[in-house]
């Protein structure tokens, strides 16, 4: 069975800025098949960045193309948006509900995910890492 990873815009943008393929890097790190997922809110966030112009527009366009190319599963989060819940909280709730790890660069999101015992994949410098380090030990609540 494949591990399910919920992607945040921050890790996608950061890895592409460094010229890295986040999908390949995460699969190489975990050493097994991964099902990548994004929320509708994450896609909307990338679309907003795309409309800003300059560098963020170009990188956001590349991220959106890569998500399409990799055929990431898109999860609707309309229920949460109706309640005006922040995107980070949507990611945490979705990860817990669907038993997924979260891939993000956002420090507060990483901290809260670890507090909730949700596995986290992130980057330090130009290397990906996961917490806890061995996916075999992931006990996703």
Q: How many domains does the chain have?
A: 1
Question: Is residue 101 a contact partner of residue 109, using CB atoms and an 8 Å limit?
Answer: no
Q: What domain range includes position 125?
A: 3-137
pLDDT at 137 over 70: no
- pLDDT over 90 at 2, yes or no: no
Convert the pLDDT of each residue in 35-88 to its tens digit.
Answer: 999 998 888 888 888 777 666 778 888 888 888 888 889 998 777 766 778 888
Q: Which residues pair with 7 in a beta bridge?
A: 103
Q: What is the pLDDT of residues 109-136, one digit of tens each?
A: 999 999 998 999 999 988 999 887 666 6
Q: Which carries the bigger pLDDT value, residue 51 or residue 28?
A: 28
For residue 65, the surrounding DSSP H or E stretch is helix 54-69
Contact 74, 40 (CB under 8 A): yes
Asked if residue 20 lies in contact with residue 126, where contact means CB atoms within 8 angstroms, the answer is yes
| CATH code of 110's domain | 3.40.50.1010
pLDDT at 60: 85
Q: Record the pTM.
A: 0.86
State phi, psi for 125 to the nearest 5 degrees.
Answer: 65, -120
**What average pLDDT does the chain have?**
85
């Amino acid at each position: 069975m494949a591990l399910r990873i919920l992607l945040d815009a921050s890790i996608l943008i950061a890895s592409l800025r460094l010229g890295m393929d986040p999908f390949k890097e995460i699969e190489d790190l975990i050493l097994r098949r991964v099902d990548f997922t994004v929320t509708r809110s994450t896609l909307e966030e990338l679309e907003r960045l795309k409309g800003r112009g300059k560098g963020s527009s170009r990188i956001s366009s590349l991220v959106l193309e890569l998500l399409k190319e990799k055929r990431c599963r898109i999860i609707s989060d309309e229920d949460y948006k109706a309640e005006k819940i922040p995107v980070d909280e949507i990611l945490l709730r979705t990860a817990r509900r669907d038993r997924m790890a979260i891939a993000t660069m956002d420090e507060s999101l990483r901290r809260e995910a670890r507090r909730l015992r949700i596995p986290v994949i992130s980057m330090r410098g130009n290397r990906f890492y996961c917490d806890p380090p061995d996916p075999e030990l992931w006990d996703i609540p």
